[in-house]
């Protein structure tokens, strides 16, 4: 298939909130949050805009790849939304980077990064030489109801980026969607036109059916990993690393148990990051890359699931030599 | 038959081979939170090769057994 991943980058906002910090305004406890989710702390955009963290992640990724932004052919931002509906987050980053290429956002919620890889793969399969920047950035802190302890404790902010060019890292990829508003929803503003029949304003925050999403997530990881390894002509056991969307430790543990795979194969970073939506997978990729844990030839699976409901998974054969930049 | 199998799965899940379970045993009483209940039901569904509606009204082992018996009838 058609891309090589030649650089990674990430950025987390400065403000860290531990579980104990949340008890100042939420009726919850560190023990409850930790036992149910595996999360201890998360980063929140207090000083930063979404653009700030997206830009920072992009600059890091471009440096890691050794690419000048002026040589970018495309910028894609998987995101639930930047600081503005328009200009898109991708356009705002493009402007700050001094890039001159087309730029657009895509919304596949927490599956966004894998969807972004698939879009990049499709562009590159046209056969023309291209360098593509994917920046997944989400500030979930702006979208959750901070009076709802069942959801607020889960989500966080962050940005992860990857630079892709023509190559052969992608061994298989699979996306799925099943429209479902009940499981997970963040409503949009509907305006106040006087002629509207239903004048009731939607509650502008995330609502979620926890058990339904939990079940969906475990099933997604299991089904998708089996599928993409089969499509890549490898066994599950051949995978060196599995990077799941970092939503909740218990989802990952449950999937590992069902797949009869050791937890050591699964990269888990949710403890100090929380659920950063689309950014979660590229944040992990960048962390692994910076610490020299990704060696050429390693088979890595990404497995994502999120609002939509969407899922996405792929198998990559890592080809980038470590820069040892940390 | 269904009840016995469900008890076996539950005991395995909690790693408590001597766990006392009746049809009236509630998930809360068994110290299973809502996520545990999801996982348990998924295992039970797989064991019986069926699926049941999980809509928040499942409160006891008896509820699950009833739905499984209906589904496989």
CA angle at A204 for the pair A199 and A208, rounded to the nearest 5° = 120
* Percent residues over pLDDT 70 in chain B: 100
Beta bridge partners of A75: A103, A133
Task: Select from A35, A37, A211, A220 the residue whose CB has the most chain B CBs within 10 Å, as the one to mutate to test that interface.
Answer: A211
pLDDT at residue number A204: 87
Q: Do A214 and B38 touch (CB under 8 A)?
A: yes
Q: Is A182 a catalytic residue?
A: no
pLDDT at residue number A80: 97
> Residue A63 — very low, low, confident or very high, per pLDDT cuts 50/70/90?
very high
At A79-130, the pLDDT tens digits run 999 999 999 999 999 999 999 999 999 999 999 999 999 999 999 999 999 9
pLDDT at residue number A280: 98
At B7-20, the pLDDT tens digits run 999 999 999 999 99
Helix or strand run (H / E) with residue A229: helix A210-231
> Residue B1 — very low, low, confident or very high, per pLDDT cuts 50/70/90?
confident
Question: Is the pLDDT confidence value at A324 over 60?
Answer: no
Mean pLDDT of A43-53: 97
pLDDT, averaged across chain A: 95
CATH of domain A172-317: 3.40.47.10
Beta strand A41-44 with A3-11 is unpaired
Q: What is the DSSP string of A26-37?
A: SS--HHHHHHHH
Contacts of B35 in chain A (CB under 8 A): 36, 210-211, 214, 250
Q: Do A218 and B34 touch (CB under 8 A)?
A: no
Q: Which of A101, A110, A222, A314 is catalytic?
A: A110
pLDDT at residue number A194: 86
> Residue A326 — very low, low, confident or very high, per pLDDT cuts 50/70/90?
very low
Residues of chain A with CATH 3.40.47.10: 3-168, 172-317
Structural domains in chain B, CATH included, are 2-72 (1.10.1200.10)
Helix or strand run (H / E) with residue A16: strand A15-18
Mean pLDDT of A61-65: 98
Look at the block and give the residue holding tokens 């969607």: A177
List C-alpha distances in Å: A320 to A64, A164, A171, A256.
10, 11, 15, 27
> Residue A310 — very low, low, confident or very high, per pLDDT cuts 50/70/90?
very high
Please state the pTM of the whole predicted model. 0.95
Q: Do B42 and A215 touch (CB under 8 A)?
A: yes
Distance, in Å, from the CA atom of A129 to the CA atom of A197, rounded to the nearest integer, reads: 51
Q: Is A272 a catalytic residue?
A: no
Contacts of B33 in chain A (CB under 8 A): 36
Question: Is the pLDDT confidence value at A7 over 50?
Answer: yes
Q: Do A211 and B56 touch (CB under 8 A)?
A: yes
Cα dihedral A259, A211, B10, B32 sign = positive
At A247-291, the pLDDT tens digits run 999 999 999 999 999 999 999 999 999 999 999 999 999 999 999
Distance, in Å, from the CA atom of A274 to the CA atom of A263, rounded to the nearest integer, reads: 19
Question: Is the pLDDT confidence value at A323 over 80?
Answer: no
CA of A164 vs chain B CAs: smallest distance (Å):
38
Q: What is the DSSP string of A68-118?
A: -GGG-SEEEEE-S--S-SSS-HHHHHHHHHT--S-EEEE--GGGHHHHHHH
Contacts of A214 in chain B (CB under 8 A): 34-35, 38
Query: What is the fold, at CATH topology level, of the domain defined by A3-168?
Result: Peroxisomal Thiolase; Chain A, domain 1 (3.40.47)
Distance, in Å, from the CA atom of B72 to the CA atom of A97, rounded to the nearest integer, reads: 60
Q: Do A215 and B54 touch (CB under 8 A)?
A: yes
Which ipTM score applies to this complex? 0.89
Q: Does A36 touch chain B (CB under 8 A)?
A: yes
């Amino acid at each position: 298939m058609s891309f090589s991943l030649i650089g990674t980058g990430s950025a987390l906002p400065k403000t860290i909130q531990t579980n104990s910090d949340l008890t100042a305004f939420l009726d919850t406890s560190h023990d409850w949050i930790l036992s149910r989710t595996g999360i201890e702390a998360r980063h929140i955009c207090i000083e930063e805009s979404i653009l700030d963290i997206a830009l920072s992640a992009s600059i890091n990724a471009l440096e890691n790849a050794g690419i000048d932004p002026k040589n970018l052919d495309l910028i894609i931002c998987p995101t639930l939304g930047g600081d503005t509906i328009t200009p898109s987050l991708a356009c705002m980053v493009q402007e700050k980077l001094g890039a001159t290429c087309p730029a657009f956002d895509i919304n596949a919620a927490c599956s966004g990064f894998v969807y972004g890889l698939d879009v990049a793969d499709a562009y590159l399969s046209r056969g023309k030489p291209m360098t593509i920047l994917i920046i997944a950035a989400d500030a979930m802190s702006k979208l959750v109801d901070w009076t709802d302890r069942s959801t607020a404790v889960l989500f966080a902010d962050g940005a992860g980026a990857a630079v892709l060019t023509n190559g052969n890292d992608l061994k298989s990829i699979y996306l799925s969607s099943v429209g479902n508003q009940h499981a997970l929803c963040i409503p949009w503003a509907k305006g106040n036109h006087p002629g509207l029949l239903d004048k009731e304003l939607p509650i502008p925050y995330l609502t979620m059916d926890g058990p339904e999403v939990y079940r969906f997530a475990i099933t997604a990881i299991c089904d998708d990993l089996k599928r993409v390894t089969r499509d890549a002509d490898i066994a599950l056991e051949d995978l060196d690393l599995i990077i799941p969307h970092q939503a909740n430790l218990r989802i990952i543990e449950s999937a590992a148990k069902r797949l009869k795979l050791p937890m050591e194969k699964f990269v888990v970073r949710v403890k100090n990051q929380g659920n950063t939506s689309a950014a979660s997978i590229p944040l992990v990729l960048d962390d692994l890359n910076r610490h020299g844990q990704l060696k050429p030839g390693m088979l890595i699976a990404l497995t994502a699931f999120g609002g939509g409901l969407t899922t996405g998974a792929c198998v990559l054969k890592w080809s980038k030599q470590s820069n040892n930049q940390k | 038959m269904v009840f016995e199998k469900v008890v076996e799965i539950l005991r395995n899940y909690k790693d408590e081979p001597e766990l006392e379970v009746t049809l009236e045993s509630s998930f809360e009483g068994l110290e299973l939170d809502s996520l545990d209940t999801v996982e348990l039901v998924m295992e039970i569904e797989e064991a019986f090769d069926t699926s049941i509606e999980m809509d928040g009204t499942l409160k006891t082992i008896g509820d699950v057994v009833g739905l499984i018996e209906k589904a496989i009838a």
